[in-house]
Chain A
Amino acid sequence: MEELKIKLKQQIIDSLNLQGMKPEDIKDDAPLFGDGLGLDSIDSLELMVLLERNYGIKIEDAREGRKILTSVQTMAEYIQQHSKI
């Protein structure tokens, strides 16, 4: 799980071009949107594409997507349970 979270953080940094940021700068439980990482709605679409491209996970339900994309922790847990790659 720890390895997956570090890998996921790096993928988030690369995908969203978070310049100057390292995986250790993102806390596992910090909110990705709003006060935490400060991501926006376009970023949420980018993260959904990231899950589809890298883990074969397609999020169809927006409400479910919001829960999954709460933090790195929630994303990693969902990936562990549903990854098809």
Chain B
Amino acid sequence: MKQPLYILSACSISPQHSYDMERFLNPVISSDDNKLYVTAPDYAKYISPVAIRRMSRMLKMGITAGMRSLEMAGIVTPDAIIIGTARGSVTDMENFLKDMISLKEEALTPTGFIQSTYNSVNGWLAMMTKSTRYNQTYVHRGFSLELCLLDAQMMLAEATGNKYLLAGGFDELTEEYFIIRDKIDYYKDEPVNSRTLLSHYDTKGSIGGEGAHFFTLSNDPNNATCAIHGIAMLQQPSSDALQQAIADMLEKNGITNDDIDVMMCGMNGDVRNKFLMDPLIAGCSTNTTIAAFKQLSGEYDTASGFGLWLVHYLFTHSSIPSDIIYKQGSSTSVKNVLLCNVTIACNVTLMLVTSS
């Protein structure tokens, strides 16, 4: 990556108290029914009463996370808004489809239709920040967020004068969506306490999750907490191909396996991913602390956004919370972090993040 993506701020709305960083993991939020829904912040801080009344949960999550990220970075109007989502606003889509059936495609209300589109969060953010420039939504299942970040990186690398971008990802969990995905073994048959997810690697499926994670990005290292130096996406790779991709990324950035202080793993507890995860963990340096995050976020297509937020959290706090440590390494600093997310479909994304 020629131009690193500097992260100025990050905001996450997740099942944990991530919106209020001082309360993060205090206490750890868990569930016993294979579903982790977000812990909602006060949405009224950023959304007017007139607007909020017709918004679904997903819209409120996305808008609030985006606006808060910009506020934390001190940016009023970003040069671009780029978002990744695999499913958009599922609740609005479900409501609209239900109305279509029950009302025989007549007398349909506009709100569900307008807000069910994938880019409705972008639209609202653009209106609220008065941003009339580049506005893009990437809808590519488990690669949605990474493609959004790649676009942001390319835009900031061009000499177009763009300096501050808002990028992020979101996806929501609904009861019906859970039932549909459960039919394709996306979730575990047995009820699992979310905190023990990683000790259930002997069965198919994971636990459902949701969240909205936004980042204010820049090509200027001033005031940045950390920087993304590499992004890679691998569609159903072999274990060897994954190891090679990691080696290539490290080599391109002039570092070795031993330089990785933390491997932030999106381990989802699905037995079908074990052939990727076991060699990956075994191949880590003894210096490297292996951390895991899906026992906190649940599994969903843009869960890597929570992983990236957590990486940002490590840089801002310079310590690793014990609740995410899977295997302690000997390194005592947090300078180089490799984020590795694996989806149920065995697609893998990698991000190399270093202190700026």
Binding site for B on A (CB under 8 A): 15-19, 38, 40, 42, 45-46, 49, 52-53
Q: Are A19 and B53 in contact (CB under 8 A)?
A: yes
Q: Quote the shortest CB–CB distance from A33 to chain B (angstroms).
A: 12
Q: List 22 A-B contacts (CB under 8 A).
A: A15-B109, A16-B53, A16-B54, A17-B53, A17-B54, A18-B53, A19-B49, A19-B53, A38-B50, A40-B50, A42-B54, A42-B111, A45-B109, A45-B110, A46-B109, A46-B111, A49-B109, A49-B110, A52-B106, A52-B107, A53-B103, A53-B107
Task: Name B's interface SS.
Answer: loop
Q: Are B53 and A42 in contact (CB under 8 A)?
A: no
Chain B residue at minimum C-beta to C-beta distance from A46 = B109
Chain B 95-115 interface 0/1 with A at a Cβ cutoff of 8 Å (1 = within): 000000001001111110010
Task: Name A's interface SS.
Answer: helix
- How many residue pairs between the two chains, A and B, have CB atoms under 8 Å in the bound complex? 27
Q: Are B54 and A49 in contact (CB under 8 A)?
A: no
Interface residue count on the B side (C-beta < 8 Å): 12
Residues of A within 8 A of B103 (CB): 53
Chain A residue at minimum C-beta to C-beta distance from B55 = A17
In the A-B complex, the 5 residue pairs with the closest CB atoms: A17-B53, A52-B107, A45-B110, A53-B107, A49-B109
Q: Quote the shortest CB–CB distance from A35 to chain B (angstroms).
A: 13
Residues of A within 8 A of B53 (CB): 16-19
Binding site for A on B (CB under 8 A): 49-50, 53-54, 103, 106-111, 114
